[in-house]
Structure 1
Amino acid sequence: MLHLLKLPLEIRYEIYGRVICSATKPPPSPARDRRNRRSLPDGSRDTQGIFYRTPDNPALSLLRVNRQVNEEVSNFLSYLPTRNYHVDIMCVKESGLWPTWSIPPPLPGKGSFSAPTQYIDSIYATLRIFNPPKAMRSYFRNGLTFHLSYGQQDPIIDGFYGLLEAFFHRGPGFTDRSRPEDDPGVAPRYIVKDIIIDITAPPDASKHRSVIVDDLHYRPDRLTSRYAGHDDVSVAPEERLAALMSRHLEMLLSFTPKLLNKGMLVYEQMSGSFVFVVCGKEYRRVEVEERLHKLEEVYLGTDGEPDLDLRGRFERWRRWVDERRRSMKEGLDLSTHRPVQQLKG
C-alpha cells in the first residue's frame, strides 16, 4: 500500500476506478450459483420467487485501508456518474428469478448502500432461460407457482413486478433500506427512465418445450390459455418469453381489474419506456407516458355504468401523478407522500 501512495494522485484515481467499477461476472448457470442467494426479505407475494445476492462492492476494502485512502476513495465515489445499471437475471423455470447486479456498484451510504441520485437513466436487464437444476434445494423450488384458475394472480406478473417494486424502493442491488416499504402512503425513492430487457437464447441444449414449465414436468394441458404460446416450439424460446412478458406488461399498464394498484406504481416511478429485446434486436417498445394518456379513455369515458368512487380516486390520482411526472422530467426532488394509495380496495 505504501507503493500505491507514492504514485501521483491522478494515477491512484485511475487505479481506484478500475477496482471499483470492475464488473461482476454473471453466473454460468443456477446449478453453480446457489450458496449466497436468498429471497427478498419482505415476504410479500410479489417478491416470492426472487432469489438475489448482495452485490460485491470493491470500494469497501479500499475504504478500510487507512484515512488517506478512505478520503481519496470517498471523493472519487462522490463524482462517479452512476446512472446506468446492468443486471443479469436467470429465469429458472418453476423456481423464480435470480438477479445478479454487475456494474457499477452502489455507493456506500449511512447504514446501507444507495445510489448517489434517485434518478436512474437506465437499467439494462439480460434475461436467460434455464430449466431448474436436478439437485436443487426445496428452498429454491416452486417460487413462482403456476395455477390453473383464472382467479389466481399471475406469477409472471408477480415475479417481474416484484423485481420492479424492489428496485423502486431499494435501488440498484436492492440494498437501500432508507424508506419504509410497508407504508403504502410513502412513495419509493428511485425513479427510472428506461428499462431494457434483453432476452437471450437459452445457454443450454434443452428443448425448452415450455418457457415457464420445467421440461421434465411439461404437459400440454397443464396451463390455461392465459399462457398461450408458451409451448409453441415453432417459435424460439426467447421470443416466446418476450411475447408473454410484453403481453402481461400491457395488462399491468392497462389497469385491468386485478392489477389497478400495481399499475399505479409503474406510472409513478417510470418516466420513459420498456424496451424488449430478443438476442440484441428490438422486439417491442412500450412508452409509459403514451400508455398513461390512454387510461383517460378507459376511466373518463361515458360508456357503461361508471363506478363513481373509482372514477373520483382515479381523477385525484391523475392530477397528482401528472404533476409528479412533470417534476420527474425536470429532475426535481419529489414528495415522499402518496395521496392516493390505491384505486381499488
Structure 2
Amino acid sequence: MPSLMTIAPELRDQVLKEVLFPPEREPPDSPAASQDRVRRVYSGDTTDYHDGHDIWVPRTPLVAPDQHPRAILLVNRQLYHEGSALLARAAGRKTPHRLDVMYVKECGLWPTWLSVVPRAARHIDTLHVQFRIFDPPGDVDPVRRNPRQFVTRNVGGEPLAVWNLFALLSDYIGHGPTAFEPRVGPPCPHTVGKLVLDVAVPPPGTVDDNMGFSRDSPQTVVLEAFAKNDISKHWPRPPRGQTHRMVAEKMAYLVAGKIGALLSMYEDYGAPLYEHIGSIDICVDGQSRRLFDLDELMHIIPTRPFAAHSAKSRAQKQRQFDEWKSKTWAKRRSLGVINPRPVVLTCG
C-alpha cells in the first residue's frame, strides 16, 4: 500500500501544503451567526483580569498552536527538507494574513481570524483587516451591549468606541495573534510591514446613522461636515443616493483621523506604531483613501517644540527623543522593508 514517503513527489507536495497551509475560513455572515464570543482574559501576576474594552472574540480560536501544523517536519529528514522548501517559497510570496472585524453598534468590535497565523511568527509582511458595519442582533446578549461606548469620559477625550480601535492595534503589536483569543498570551512584541485597514461597503439600504454616535457628539459633527464636503475635499465621495457607500466612507475617514491623531502623539501613545509597523493604509472596499508612510513621518517628527519649564529640561527631552528615534530606526530596519534616509529633523 502506498505511503506518504512512496507516492510521487508532486503528490507529497500537495499533502504537505494541505498540512502546512490550512485554508482560510470565510468571515461570519453576520453578528447574529457569530454570537458564541467572550471577552478576552489576560493573565496577571496573581489573578486573571479583563481590560474593559468592548472587544469580543470567538470562544474557539483559529490561531495555530505551536506544535501544529509544522510538527510534520519532525517526522523524518526528508519531510523536513521538503516541507522547509515549501515554507521558504511561501515566505517569498509574502501572502497577507487576514482578520475580519465586525463593528457592531453598541457592542464594540468582534474580530475573527480568517488566516491561521503561527504563534511563532514575530513578523508578518501584510496584515489585512476588513471592517464590516452592523446593527446589533435583536437577540444579542445584554452583557455585550454598552451604549456608553459612544460617551466621552473627559472633555476633549475619545469615546470608548475609539479606544476599542486603539486597543485592537496595540494588543496585536504587543501580544501577536493571541490578542484575539479568549486568553491573551504573554507580552511578545510583533511587527507588521504593511497594515491595511479596509472598510467594506455595506449592502444597499443600510441606514447612515453616523456609526451610532449621537447627533450632538463631536464625531457626528465631523462626519456630517465630511458628508457635505465641507472638509477634506480631496477625499472621494460616493454619488448622490448611494447612502450605503457613504457609511463606509465615513468610517474610513474617522479611522484615518484617529490613526493620524495617534501618530501625532509620538512621545507616548503613538510610539509603538512607529516601532512595530511599516505603513498603514486606510481603504474602502480595497481602494486606498489615506496612506500613512511611517518612514516619511519619522523624518519630520518632532513637529513641535518640546514643552518644558526650562531650557535644560527641554534639552533633556530632546536627547531622550533623539535616543528613541535612533533605536526606532534600527528596529524599523529589522522589518526588512524600511530604508531610512540619513536626514534627521529635530525641533528645538
- TM-score with structure 1 setting the length: 0.73
Relative to 1, partners in 2 of residues 1:252 and 1:151: Cα closer, same or farther, differing over 3 Å?
A: same
Corresponding residue of 1:237 = 247
Root-mean-square deviation (CA), in Å? 3.9
Query: Aligned partners of 2:296 and 2:63: how far apart in 1?
Result: 37
Partner of 1:91: 103
Aligned counterparts, 1:1-345, within 5 A:
4=4, 6-19=6-19, 20-35=21-36, 37-42=37-42, 43=49, 45=51, 48-53=53-58, 54-55=61-62, 57=64, 68=75, 72=79, 76=83, 79=88, 81=91, 84-103=96-115, 105-107=116-118, 113-115=119-121, 118-142=122-146, 145-148=149-152, 149-174=154-179, 180-181=186-187, 188-203=188-203, 205-213=205-213, 219-221=214-216, 223-224=217-218, 228-229=222-223, 232=227, 236-255=246-265, 260-270=267-277, 272-299=278-305, 309=313, 312-313=316-317, 315-331=319-335
Shift of 1:261: 2.2
**Contact 1:242-1:276 at 8 Å conserved across structures:** yes
CA 69–254 in structure 1, closer or farther in 2 if over 3 Å, else same: same
For 1:44 and 1:264, the matched residues in 2 are separated by 24
Question: How far off its partner does 1:266 sit?
Answer: 1.1
Instruction: Give deviations 1:304-335, integer Å, cap 9, x for gaps.
Output: 96686576345314323323323432458xxx
Q: Structure 2 stretches of 5 or more lacking a match?
A: 43-48, 229-239, 337-348
Change (3 A) 1:244 1:74: farther
Task: Measure how far apart 1:206 and its partner are.
Answer: 3.0
Residues 101, 173 of structure 1: CA spacing in aligned structure 2 closer, same or farther, 3 A cutoff?
Answer: farther
* Alpha-carbon spacing, 1:66–1:268, altered in 2? closer, same or farther (3 Å): closer
Between stretches 74-83 and 278-287, larger displacement belongs to 74-83
Displacement of 1:225: 5.0
**Letter aligned with residue 276 of structure 1:** I
- C-alpha distance in 2, partners of 1:315/1:133? 52
- Aligned counterpart, 1:340: none
Q: In structure 2, do the counterparts of structure 1 residues 198 and 22 end up closer, same or farther at CA, with 3 Å as the change threshold?
A: same
**Cα–Cα, structure 1 residues 309 and 146, in superposed 2: closer, same or farther, change >3 Å?**
farther
Q: Which residue in 1 is equivalent to 2:346?
A: none
Structure-2 change in CA distance of 1:306 and 1:18 (3 Å)? farther
Change (3 A) 1:315 1:67: closer
Distance 1:97 1:307 in 2: 45
Q: Offset of 1:139 from its aligned partner?
A: 3.0
Q: More deviation in 190-199 or 310-319?
A: 310-319
Calculate percent identity across the aligned residue pairs: 21
Q: Equivalent residue of 1:26, what SS?
A: coil
Are the equivalent residues in 2 in contact too, given 1:63–1:74 (CA < 8 A)?
no
Are the aligned partners of 1:252 and 1:260 in contact in 2 as well (CA < 8 Å)?
A: no
- Report the counterpart of residue 338 of structure 1 in structure 2: none
Going from structure 1 to structure 2, the CA distance change for 1:63 and 1:86 (only over 3 Å counts) comes to closer
**Which has the higher mean CA deviation after the structures are superposed, 58-67 or 292-301?**
58-67
Q: Secondary structure at the match of 2:212?
A: coil
Contact 1:91 1:129 in 2 (8 A): yes
SS in 2 for 1:134: coil
Q: Offset of 1:3 from its aligned partner?
A: 5.4
- 8 Å CA contact 1:230–1:244 kept in 2: the answer is no
Structure 2 distance, partners of 1:57, 1:275, is: 27
Contact kept? 1:62, 1:69, Cα under 8 Å: no
In structure 1, give the amino acid aligned to 2:35: R
Q: Please say if residues 194 and 281 of structure 2, whose CA atoms lie closer than 8 Å, have aligned partners that are also in contact.
A: yes
